[in-house]
């Protein structure tokens, strides 16, 4: 399945997020990530929705239906070649410092706190693929806890 990202600008009103998520649920799609933040225009929110779908027509249909909502100002799909997709993960690891140093330079991470000799809390930022690669390389046996923001995207 192809990962798709839909960017929507909506009025910042109660219930808009529910309407959008209910539309996607009714179409039997599973939302991978959903991030919402303020835009630079007061009263307007920026929503990034990622989902898995190979059929271009189905994604186009969702966008058309989103645009029918009075609270939606605009909606469109972001092309992966013409946009940046990024995510942040906060990870608590049980790993020694030497093992952690092996990842320096290859991955974009910051040590937020060293809880003990072998327990570290990191912030990892980058593409979803890069974060997944980092976590795979660290190994599931070393991960105590993880929190991920979900994808946010911006056109080039």
In angstroms, the Cα distances linking 113 to 28, 122, 143 are 41, 7, 15
Sequence-ordered alpha helix ranges (H) in 41-151: 56-68, 97-101, 128-138
Rounded CA gap, 88 and 114, in Å? 19
Q: How far is CA 48 from CA 56, 77, 92, 108, 119, in A?
A: 18, 10, 26, 23, 33
Q: Could you read off the pLDDT of 44-93 as tens digits, one per residue? A: 999 999 988 888 888 899 999 999 999 999 999 999 889 999 999 999 99
Encode pLDDT of 136-155 as tens digits. Answer: 999 999 999 999 998 999 88
Six-digit token string for 38: 């303020």
Q: Where are the domains of the chain?
A: 3-78, 83-155
* Domain 83-155 CATH superfamily: ACT-like. Chain A, domain 2 (3.30.70.1150)
CATH of region 3-78: 3.30.70.260
CA neighbours within 13 Å on the CB side: how many for 14? 0
Q: Residue 44, SS3?
A: strand
User: pLDDT tens digits for 92-121?
Assistant: 999 988 888 888 888 989 999 999 889 999
CA distance 35 to 14: 16
Per-residue pLDDT tens over the stretch 3-55:
899 999 999 999 999 999 888 888 778 888 999 999 999 999 999 999 888 88
Q: Does the pLDDT of residue 2 top 90, yes or no? A: no
> Cβ-count burial of 69 within 10 angstroms (0-12 exposed, 13-18 middle, 19+ buried)?
middle
């Amino acid at each position: 399945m192809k990962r798709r990202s839909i960017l929507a600008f909506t009025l910042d009103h109660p219930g808009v997020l529910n309407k959008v998520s209910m539309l996607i649920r009714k179409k039997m799609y599973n939302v991978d990530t959903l991030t919402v933040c303020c835009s630079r225009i007061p009263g307007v929110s920026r929503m990034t929705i990622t989902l898995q779908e190979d059929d271009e027509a189905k994604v186009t249909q969702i966008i058309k239906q989103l645009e029918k909502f009075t609270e939606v100002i605009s909606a469109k799909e972001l092309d992966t070649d013409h946009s940046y997709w990024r995510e942040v993960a906060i990870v608590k690891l049980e790993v020694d410092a030497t093992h952690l140093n092996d990842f320096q330079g290859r991955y974009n991470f910051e040590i937020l706190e060293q809880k003990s000799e072998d327990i570290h809390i990191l912030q990892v930022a980058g593409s979803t693929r890069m974060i997944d690669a980092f976590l795979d390389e660290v190994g599931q046996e070393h991960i105590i806890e993880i929190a991920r923001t979900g994808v946010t995207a911006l056109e080039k």
